[in-house]
Structures are given as C-alpha cells and as structure tokens.
Amino acid sequence: MAKSRDRVELKNSVRSPLPNGKDIGPIDLNQQIEVTVYLRPSAGLANTEAIGKTPISSRTYLSREEFAGTHGAQAEDIQSIRAFAEEYGLRVVSEDAARRMVKLGGTVEAFNQAFGTSLRRYQHASGTYRCRTGAVTVPAEIADVIEGVFGLDNRPQAKPHFRVRKRRAGSQTGGSFSPLQVADLYNFPSGFDGSGQCIGIIELGGGYKTADLTSFFNAAGITTPKVTAVAVDGGKNSPTGDPNGADGEVELDIEVAGSIAPGAEIAVYFAPNTDQGFIDAITTAVHDTKNKPSIISISWGGPESSWTAQARDALNSACQAAATMGVTVLAASGDDGATDGTSSPTVDFPASSPYVIGCGGTKIIASGSSISSEQAWNELSANEGATGGGVSEVFALPDYQSSAKVPAAPNAFKGRGVPDVAGDADPETGYDVIVDGQQSVIGGTSAVAPLWSGLLARINQAIGKNVGYVNPLLYANPAESTFRDITSGSNGDYSAGEGWDACTGLGSPDGAKLLSALQGM
C-alpha cells in the first residue's frame, strides 16, 4: 500500500476530453498498461543557438554517447522513479538515461493511485480511447524530477499530412512527377546519392510492403535503398492494404526520400498514434546508437492546441537535443491551410518547433525540365487541401527569424513563423508512387519533408559533415538568396509574397546553389 503524503500537480499536465466526445464508462481497473515517465536533464542545452550560428565547417557536435553522459537523466533521479514505482505496485519495464525516460507497467488501478488520475473510456468520432482529465499529481518530493508522464491517455495525437489526388472531371492539373523529376526541377546537386547518411522516418500507423518498394525502385531504375523497420512501444510495420490510409504516408515517405538519396540507409520508426508513441518514436530516433540517423523526417502532426504543454515541451526538447548532436529534424506543416483543420488560424506541431525545419507546400507547373510557374498550394475549394502555415502561439520568435517580418500570432503573441521552406505538395501536381501494389499520385506537405530530407542527405555527403541544426543559416545570406521566392497564392488567411511568408516560408530550393552556399558558411 502506498504511503500517504503530500502531492502536487505536475506542471503543464492538464488535459481535457476531445471535443464532441462521450464518456462511456469506467475502464477495467485490472487492465495492464505502460506509461513513459520523462525526467529532467542533468544539464540544460544552453549552447544550442550558438551551434546554429556557427559555420558548418567549424561545428562540433556531441556524439550520442557524449550527450547521454552530459545531458541524460541523473542516476539518482532514475532511482527515485524506481522507488516510486515499487511503492505503488508498478514495475519498471525499461529505462534509458540518454532519452531521460523510465517506462512503467502495471494495472490501471495502480496508475490511478500513483498519478492521482481516474481513467475513463471515451467515445469519439476517431474511436474509443482511454481518457484522463485534469492534471497528473505526484508525490511532492519527486515533482521536480518529472517533466512529463505519457501513456495514461491513449487518444489519437496526430494525423498524416498526405493527400491522394482525386480524379476530378475537367480539373486542370500540372501533371504528376516522379520524385527524381521534382529533384531535377529543383536543381538538386548531382553526383551524390546520400551515401554514408541515415534518414530516420517517423510513422504512427500503416506500413510498407517490400514488394512495393522493389517494384517502385526497379521501375525508376534506382537501386532499392536499405530500409529497416524499428518498433517503438509495440508499433510495427503493419500494412493495412488500404492505399488511401496510413500505408500511403509510409510508402510515400520512403519512396520520395529513397529516390533522392538511394545511397542512404532508411530507418522507419513505427509507434502508436498517441502522444506517448510520437514522443517515444522521436526520442528513439534521436538517440539511436545503432542506425544513427543524421536526418529525421516527420510527416505527422496536429494543431498546437491539441497537445498538452508537457507533451509539446518533451517533443521540442528531443528536437533541441538532436540539434546538439548534428541531427536535422524536418516536419510537414499540414494540409488544411491556415486553420490546420480547426475553426481559426493556427499552426501544426511539431513543424512549429524552432528546432525543426517546417516544410510547406507549393503547386508547380513544369515546361520541359524547368518550372514555368510555382505558387502556394491551395486546393481548398476542391477539398484537396492547402499548405499549412502561420504563426505559433506558444513558441517565441527565434532569433533567426528576427528579420523575416513574421506577423503577430492570432493571440497577438510574437511567435515563430511556419513554415521555413517549401516544395511541391499539391496533389494535382503530385508524386507518382506505388502503394499497396497500386500506382497512385500523392501530394501533401508529407511529401516535402522527405524531399528535403533527401536533399540534405546529398548535401551532408557533399560537405562531408552533417549540416545539423541549419535553420539559422537558412535565414542568412548567402543561403537565403538561393531560394526560389514564391510570391503568389495563399493558404486561406496568409498570402505568399516577397521574402518569407506564412505559406511557403523562404521558398522552394535550388539544391545546387544551396549546397554551394552552405559549403561556404
């Protein structure tokens, strides 16, 4: 029996049910679940901004092992969670000092007692889920040790940002493209295939079929890259057979990144679609000492308001950790225009993290081997989506955007502007891919994150060093002047214009010019 003691609310842990949901009763108190407890670091990451402003040739990154020793969880903090678990009848499933996490297992009843919750079953349009409301509480003596508790609630946290092209009568498309055709239109540097790099891809559902990848790359005349599935929190490579479902996201990501950088290894981290799964997948990829991804591509996300503050903080902290280790993180900015599928303008997270390259979308029309026109992607009138973008209401304007003329957020906050960069995303000018044995044309900002990931894999190979946390350099000359500035189109509430804008960021890339610029920075 747990001791009676003073308890305090865990900071930023308050959670409400999903809107329009329904409480359908109690949960079996004997049900076994697993919960991830994230701990404070041994030391903060005060030098992150300095890394971003340092010339790439002069940068010194921490190895994953060095990071674990300097910034991982303290041994005494892990021990305090072990003691806490034993007191409340929970077991330690695993612990990882580098990721600052301890995973606990036990019954719903034991977790209710340990964290002061009353878990219930809720029904929502997205399905039935285990719900907690209010704040998590913990014994006062360990409150400063814990930064987040994830897994008590298992509602869906994110959605994939891809759009399958619809066949509309009389629609005017710009024609679809292979990923390599898009790379050529954007003048990606030739002579490089990403050798020596590993691209980590985060997936929260679906899967890939080896036969699909083989067929796709063989048809394209590209050597099939080495693809490894990494299981996180019980997630796994599980193709559903539905090309319009999450399989479309998974195979789009692999086929786009693999086309651009077939010499790179691709590690796909599969996790459940919950805040616990999302955060655990990213921390696993960031601290993976086996596959050692140098680039992490994320095509899933949700409106900033759909996250608890502790979940946003934990994921943002993982991306900041990546920056200190020379790992570049990219994320799709969303496919529902300026509102991100809500009732008012907002931005998608994790694209809004200041340590992430937010990837917006365009529509390109090609004439031969060159782009004849390019504008912000907006097919909202045809229900085919639009690029996400706007201004964060929770992350402050970073120094690197101080001259970007980012407008105030809807709540008047001086926030981070999203996205940073752009690329072809309109499903009407989408990517030719193979999903579940079927040829398909898919767009969405989901395609832009792996497109840019492949470009950065080529650039890393060419430079001979990871560009890592490159955001500050993208906003400085000569890199900033290499972008193809997008000055037409909108995403509903924001219009494209000269310089940075909240639809297409700095613009789409000229890959060869960007490489040349970064080599000199």
Residue ending a domain, choose from 121, 150, 179: 150
Domain of residue 507, CATH code: 3.40.50.200
Task: Compute the distance between CA of residue 502 and CA of residue 490 in angstroms, rounded to an integer.
Answer: 9
Q: Are residues 359 and 444 in the same domain?
A: yes
pLDDT (average), residues 71-79: 95
Of 119, 150, 181, the last residue of a domain is 150
**Are residue 98 and residue 197 in the same domain, yes or no?**
no
Question: Lowest mean pLDDT: which of 174-183, 415-424, 481-490?
Answer: 174-183
pLDDT grade for 368, boundaries at 50, 70 and 90 = confident
pLDDT tens string 318-345 = 999 999 999 999 999 999 999 999 999 9
Q: Are strands 146-150 and 32-39 parallel, antiparallel or unpaired?
A: antiparallel
Q: Which two tokens stand for residue 283?
A: 């921390």
Distance CA 408, CA 416 (A): 9
**Complete DSSP assignment for 466-486:** ---S-HHHHTSTTTGGGSB--
156 lies in some domain: no
Report pLDDT for 286.
98
Q: Band of the pLDDT at 53, cuts 50, 70, 90?
A: confident
* Buried-state track 174-185, b at ≥16 Cβ within 10 A, e below 16: bebbbbbbbbbb
Q: How confident is the model at residue 21 (pLDDT cuts 50, 70, 90)?
A: confident
- Please tell me what DSSP assigns to residue 82: H
pLDDT tens digits, one per residue of 340-357: 999 999 999 999 999 999
Same domain, 143 and 200: no
∠ CA 150-283-514, rounded to 5° = 135
Residue 159 lies in a domain: no
| 383 and 480 part of one domain | yes
Residues annotated as catalytic are 249, 253, 446
- Residues of the domain holding 290: 190-519
| pLDDT for 236 beyond 80 | yes
Q: Is the pLDDT at 1 greater than 50, yes or no?
A: no
- Quick one: 62 and 206 in the same domain? no
> DSSP assignment, residue 386?
B
> Residue 292 region, left (φ>0) first, then alpha (ψ -120 to 50), else beta?
left
Residue 171 has pLDDT above 60, yes or no: no
User: Does 349 fall in a domain?
Assistant: yes
Residue 167's pLDDT is 66
Q: What is the pLDDT of residue 169?
A: 45
pLDDT at 6 over 70: yes
Please indicate, yes or no, whether residues 141 and 199 belong to a single structural domain of this protein: no
Poorest-pLDDT segment among 2-6, 74-78, 135-139, 351-355? 2-6
Among residues 118, 150, 182, the one where a domain terminates is 150
Rounded (to 5) percent helix, strand, coil in the chain: 30, 25, 45
Does any domain span residue 439?
Answer: yes
- Of the two residues 190 and 175, the one the predictor is more confident about is 190
44: pLDDT strictly greater than 90 = no
Q: How many domains does the chain have?
A: 2
Give me the count of residues in the chain.
521
Q: How far is CA 131 from CA 24, 26, 27, 204, 318, in A?
A: 11, 10, 9, 19, 25
Q: Do 419 and 295 share a structural domain?
A: yes
Beta bridge partners of 8: 138
Q: Which residue has the higher pLDDT, 244 or 419?
A: 419
Asked if 321 and 440 sit in the same domain, the reply is: yes
Instruction: Supply 403's token pair.
Output: 């001259």
Amino acid in position 159: K
- What secondary structure letter does DSSP report for 18? P
In angstroms, what CA-CA distances link 46 with 11, 313, 372? 22, 16, 45
Give residue for tokens 């599980």: 238
DSSP string, 142-191: GTTTEEEEESS------EE--EEPP--TT------B-HHHHHHHTTPPSS
Average pLDDT over every residue of 12-19:
91
Residues 419 and 337 in one domain: yes
Give the C-alpha separation, 470 to 356, whole Å.
9
Q: What is the pLDDT of residues 97-150, one digit of tens each?
A: 999 999 999 999 999 999 999 999 999 988 899 999 999 999 999 999 999 999
- Residue 480 CA to residue 263 CA, distance in Å, equals 28
Give yes or no: residues 143 and 196 share one domain.
no
Q: What mean pLDDT value characterizes the chain?
A: 94
Alpha-carbon distance of 90 to 111, in angstroms, equals: 8
Domain-located, residue 202: yes
pLDDT at 170 exceeding the cut of 70: no
Domain-embedded: residue 357? yes
Please state the rounded mean pLDDT for residues 285-312. 97
**Residue 166, in any domain of the structure:** no
For residue 174, what pLDDT band results from cuts at 50, 70 and 90? low
pTM of full prediction above 0.85: yes
DSSP class of 498? S
Count of CB atoms situated within 10 Å of the CB of 279: 29
Task: Judge whether residue 173 has pLDDT over 60.
Answer: no
- Comparing C-alpha atoms, which of 224, 229, 178 is closest to residue 207? 229
Q: Could you read off the pLDDT of 379-428 as tens digits, one per residue?
A: 999 999 999 999 999 999 999 999 999 999 999 999 999 999 999 999 99
Whether residue 173 lies inside any domain: the answer is no
Residues 369 and 511 in one domain: yes
- Do 138 and 221 fall within a single domain? no
